[in-house]
Structure 1
Amino acid sequence: MSNQILDEELRDCFQELSNVAVGRAADLLARLLNTFVIMPIPVVNLLERAELSMALSSIEDAESVSAVCQGFTGSKIAGEALLIFNDASFTDMAELTHYTGEITKQIELELLMDISNILIGACLKGLAEQLDVRFSQGQPYLLGQHLNISELLKKNTTTWQRLLTIEIPYKLEGHQVNCDLLLLFTEDSLPVLRNKVSYLME
């Protein structure tokens, strides 16, 4: 069977796996913030590195964004997660977390890290359980604050040429909170993921 056919199966299978993982993360976020999370539909693609910016469909019009990056690895699968916030989100996010002081850059960073830990951790756990693997997560770090998308992606020094991407756009009902969670799996991970998919499809 050709890699192209396997890649199509990989994408379709990961669409189903992602739906389950996203539901868990959305439920956790909704309970923590006591608000309704509009259930996102994950978008799974196999992309060339140059096409990555086009994957960020839900926030491509944002004038200014901030992002946190976190690497993960396990069972010969490696990748990184990017959580990208529309900067208009911070006022509402502070309100949802009952913060009433001045929203400084440091407070924005804390909000970014808190939400990143919730969404990245829950999504990776949901995927790992279905794939029967365990991911170790690296320390999250700030990729950039108050940049446009093109500037942000230049700061991501990922050198992988081909990626399996899972884009998960989150929105909170009644609030100006928009963020994109982007899970990027390395090209070297694709053979392992294909084998996992083949096993799941048996």
Structure 2
Amino acid sequence: MPLLQINEDHRDALQEITNVAMGQAGDKLARLLDTFVVLSIPHIEVMKPSDIAMALHAIDSNQSVSGVCQGFIGGGIAGEAMLLFNDTSFADLAKLLDYKEHLDEQAERELLMDTTNVLFGACLQGISEQIDMDFSFGSPTVLGQHQKVSDIFDMANTKWESALVTEISYELEGYNVNCDLLIIMTADSLDLLFKKLDYLIA
């Protein structure tokens, strides 16, 4: 099966939409943590699951990470959002959230979910508003804790052969906190998504 393609007009339009949505999510995170959030330019490609671990910008593929995913669907567009946290981020994240308990795996999971809820909610809402679609969301699921990126993506490997992947990295200025947020849209969603983008471009 040939890999799907995205043309430059669609990529530019989606990048602009994602920039706005990610900016809103970054602003919410900055307010929550009372610190400056540095965002990368969205990187948009059609990928196979095996390509993703190599493509992550904020996280070295050999580093230990923890990940959360949340499915979304609405009006013929479906996909999932994934957040991968560098495991070195947890100590600083706990400080920023004024978390006083001992930082065991359960506490890290809570920090992961708190941050994920802020980023996923604001980002996916920002995208859905701009393309004029309502998304409904599944429950967030922890993909894994303290694993290599490639192991986390092995777990997701069976869900899709290729998809449109938008990746953006977040860093907190002055802290050792960095994460990669991925928005993965299924191949079946792309015809409708590209029609929406054509309408916005026109």
**What per-residue deviation string (whole Å, max 9, x for no partner) do you get for residues 62-114 of structure 1?**
52100001100011000001100000000000000001221010000000100
TM-score, with structure 2 as normaliser: 0.94
Q: Identify the residue that residue 16 of structure 1 maps to in structure 2.
A: 16
**In the comparison of the two structures, how many residue pairs are matched?**
199
Q: Alpha-carbon deviation of 1:40? A: 2.6
The one-letter code of the counterpart of 2:141 is Y
The one-letter code of the counterpart of 1:36 is F
The one-letter code of the counterpart of 2:37 is V
Q: Alpha-carbon deviation of 1:197? A: 0.7
Is 2:200 aligned against 1:197? no
**d(CA) in 2 for partners of 1:40 and 1:114?**
22
Gaps of 5+ in 1: none
Is 2:33 aligned against 1:33? yes
Q: Alpha-carbon deviation of 1:10? A: 2.0
Cα 1:62–1:92, aligned 2, differ >3 Å: closer, same or farther? farther
Q: Identify the residue that residue 63 of structure 2 maps to in structure 1.
A: 63
For residues 79-158 of structure 1, the aligned pairs below 5 Å read 79-158=79-158
SS of alignment partner, residue 170 of structure 1 = strand
**d(CA) in 2 for partners of 1:169 and 1:95?**
21
Cα 1:77–1:199, aligned 2, differ >3 Å: closer, same or farther? same
Q: Identify the residue that residue 183 of structure 1 maps to in structure 2.
A: 183
**Identity, % of aligned positions:** 50
SS of alignment partner, residue 57 of structure 1 = coil
Moved more, 146-155 or 51-60: 51-60
The one-letter code of the counterpart of 1:87 is D
Q: Identify the residue that residue 162 of structure 1 maps to in structure 2.
A: 162
TM-score, with structure 1 as normaliser: 0.94
Q: Alpha-carbon deviation of 1:44? A: 1.2
Gaps of 5+ in 2: none
Is 2:171 aligned against 1:171? yes
**Over the residues paired in the alignment, what is the CA RMSD in angstroms?**
1.4
Is 2:67 aligned against 1:51? no
**d(CA) in 2 for partners of 1:21 and 1:105?**
30
Are the equivalent residues in 2 in contact too, given 1:78–1:186 (CA < 8 A)? yes
Cα 1:61–1:151, aligned 2, differ >3 Å: closer, same or farther? closer
**What per-residue deviation string (whole Å, max 9, x for no partner) do you get for residues 100-148 of structure 1?**
2210100000001000000011110110110000111100011000001
**d(CA) in 1 for partners of 2:61 and 2:68?**
19
Are the equivalent residues in 2 in contact too, given 1:7–1:194 (CA < 8 A)? no
